[in-house]
Amino acid sequence: MKKINYSEVTPEKIYNNRRFFIKSLGLGVSSIAMTALPLINNANSNEDNELTSYKDITTYNNYYEFGTAKGDPYKYAQNFKTNPWNITIDGEVEKPIQISIEEILETFVSEERIQRLRCVEGWSMVIPWMGFSLSQLLSKVTLTSKAKFVEFESVYDPEQMRGQKYPVLQWPYREGLRIDEAMHPLTTVVTGLYGKKLPNQNGAPLRIFIPWKYGFKSAKAIVKIKLVEKMPTSSWMRASPREYGFYSNVNPDVDHPRWSQATERIIGNDIFAPRVKTLMFNGYGDDVASLYTGMDLKKYF
């Protein structure tokens, strides 16, 4: 496959101009083949779906490995070393492998995926990620019949990640998905954003993104992907099981114990701008609701 260089991808200014051009034609974003995936939350107004600025995306982050304040990742991640970097895929596979970030970028073609990142605190961003489906990476191994879940493990490096020197969470960071969630084409391995290399504070060199789930499900700086038989216990489940469940689907009908999930604040809008309605599955219900047929999504939150 041909590798798409970051320089070939649409820069921020042209992204915004392109969206203005599409609007002037009276067309929805999905009417133009500028991405293989739908623009999320397209039931909301066009204004609610405006792309968040590169500055906001890269300076307002949850990444506790670098600190708990929203500005800490930008402040403390700039010198984080992401080369060399290898990812191990093991567990319930016929033959474990280790693959370098260079091989990943050379093998898999990144594409534009414009998606809303929604955090459990009640704020959201619309981000033009670059990436490819996780299923493509998992195709590098042959799963055994016992592979029911996927566990992601982030890097543990307290010398570079000052936040890991404190027991905010049990390190390293771990997250997980059911195998059918992991294989869904919307589940994304992120390689960049706004046509640029993925910044350290956003999870470089490689992160996972699951657009219908809350942002904490999207593990950053991945070093291991493990196929397992039993449901893994994620970092936030271990830290506070009452507040953070395994599925963590965006569901406005399930309140966080300390606040409502019914509305969200869009980062980049005026602080006094009205909050917008949170959509079930973050607007991806048509694509993913079938994964949860027959499940009580208030019980399995």
Residue 285, token pair as written in the block: 């219900």
Q: How confident is the model at residue 11 (pLDDT cuts 50, 70, 90)?
A: low
- Greater pLDDT, 27 or 271: 271
Q: Which residues of 169-183 are buried (b: 16+ CB within 10 A; e: fewer)?
A: bebbbbbbbbbebbb
Using the predicted structure, report yes or no on whether residue 203 has a pLDDT greater than 50. yes
User: For residue 46, which of 23, 25, 24 has the smallest C-alpha distance?
Assistant: 23
Q: Is 6 exposed, middle or buried (0-12, 13-18, 19+ CB in 10 A)?
A: middle
Per-residue pLDDT tens over the stretch 159-179: 999 999 999 999 999 999 999
Task: Tell me: pLDDT of 45 over 50.
Answer: no
Average pLDDT over residues 212-227: 98
Q: What is the pLDDT of residues 48-100, one digit of tens each?
A: 679 999 999 999 999 999 999 999 999 999 999 999 999 999 999 999 999 99
Say what the pLDDT of residue 42 is: 43
Average model confidence (pLDDT) across the chain: 88
Contact at 8 Å (CB) between 212 and 291? no
More confident residue, 269 or 96: 96
**Structural domains present in the chain:** 6-292 (3.90.420.10)
Continuous segment of H or E residues that includes residue 121: none
Can you tell me the distance from the alpha carbon of 87 to that of 227, in angstroms, rounded to the nearest whole number?
13
**176/187 Cα distance (integer angstroms):** 12
According to DSSP, the β-strands at 276-277 and 222-228 are: unpaired
